[in-house]
Structure 1
């Protein structure tokens, strides 16, 4: 079997992180969100991002903290690049990985290329993104990390552990399907020290916004999807930049938009293009991020002419309940899918990393794809149940999975925002979600 055919025969697994992310820039970001300049220690300045994906590129800044600044806008962000590899002295094959660490993301690639060893020469090369679940081992803890297109959103617990230990422990990355027998790669100590500096410098304290929710009037009985969608679609938005896309929805009476944190962090911009099914367009800025629960709140520059979604703020959904997901998979706005709640569960075992302990995940089988991230999951009366976040497509060992999707419960999101339930004049009129059914 040839070198390239061995690579092609390998199995690679995938999990969809329903959005896109990269590094955070500073353009038009509120003061609370700005990246503070790192003024201590050695920082390498670059005017453009390096060709870090090429394993053969001549590059002297591995393991160093790099400040990348735009020539046009002056915006900047920080990254740390790491490369770990080994060469087989017998056949000359070099294999390894390259990782790019941002403030709360890691992007990775595996690579192989041929050469001449003591006994034989090999030719060909292969270079592909990380796929499936990756595991991070640090300070005796294991972190399951989920992503898509080689890019992964780092759990806040992992970031906090790096900060508290100052990066003094050993860090390794385990790939769900490595090259040959190589599945676990160590991250260099110099790289880890730079990552710790990056995390320490970019910890932000966000002031919780005043989000105003209201008791809504909803149908007493379930509505057919064709009757329900016209009522809720105007409140769903597409969120786009040149590098990423996602979904969101109007959550409050003052027009604030909710989405996933991983949709808006790492996009490289401070303003996001917002559009609705009625062709309203505006831009919006991030005003709050919760890394633990993976949600964010945006404030549009021009208020959209649409009502907030009715919110199921008093109760969690039940298994078997009909649900509808609306979003912009692959940028196709206004896409509607139907399903049922499969379970309401805590993020334990293989679901660790999706949400912190104590938070409930709404598992459902309404089809979602990249770009759906941040969109609403609603019941058959149009009441918001959760924020769509992840789709699980395959296991770490390559087995296919279908219709296993997750949303962060809106009840837990509202708890994190420390919101109080609206006061009803006559509580007897309220349904299980806290709205008036008629």
Structure 2
């Protein structure tokens, strides 16, 4: 993940250097072409539920645009890091795909500043997306009055996934979420006393950052948490100190030796009962489904303790790069992923919820029905770990600081590093 973040952070400098060059994708009709004979779509959805979601989208695309050939440019491995590194190389060589996957929000800042993305505001207007995407989403997609990506879904990051049998066997009611972090830690003590070696599972570094953002959200509340990203809340605040203390305690119940593993390993620990809890986005739903587990029976979910009433947001989205050789094909692809049929097919496979407000909740299973209601009713905040809250360079600094902390448990060094990262990012 760190490798991927560093690669994307470097795109701004790369793009500015290329702005003065000619050749490559700037020659001929490339860039201004409306060629829709094909579309090369670049993602990291190469396996598991992510590939299943992509395949579902492609099926709808082929039905809607039978004369546009879909070219799958997915790059596997590294939780997206391999794909992001490959994308950086292609953009540097002025050889962009027709559309590429990115997280909606601040993660796109470096691409935008490097003039690598087309403004899609007119696409939104022409296709009525301003009327079917909620304002809470549109606000997070808009940069200086322009929109540069089209979301295929909405994910929630403040979700605890739990094994009902593990909790029941320890005398804990799995249907009742702890009121706060103190109550949750007390339940973890109970689990330990009943022989559960790993009450809380974690995996690679970004999963640890996601856990930390959940703790920040729980302690600071929605306004205080959001203030971290615009500077109205400082990282030397006493509440951040308190959050780091809670984070330290939570990690004492976790398998911090699992840092080299990707997220499915941590989720599988809950599925097979070797862990009680895992804080993960709702892409985990497809993992439980794939293992034949039944929601409400084998497992259940609740918002991370202390965050009920808040929806920690991220979204997968797609772009139209400057110089795309088949811009017409890319626009067709963007039409499919933003369409009602495309979003329904994709989100049923991936576990996320549609970005469109005209989706029928009855088309989705129980967990997603709850997530749809939460997104429409709760306070929405932007995920740190998944690129919605801050630009890549800032997230890279946070990830490095968290990685060091997991090894050393030095709370003061972590907080000092977070203060420095905020100061560097905001000036």
Indicate the TM-score class for this superposition, using the shorter chain for normalisation. under 0.3
TM-score, with structure 2 as normaliser: 0.27
More strand, by proportion? 1
Q: Taking CA–CA contacts closer than 8 Å with sequence separation of 6 or more, which of the two structures ends up with the larger relative contact order?
A: 2
In terms of Rg, which structure is larger?
1
More helix, by proportion? 2
TM-score, with structure 1 as normaliser: 0.26
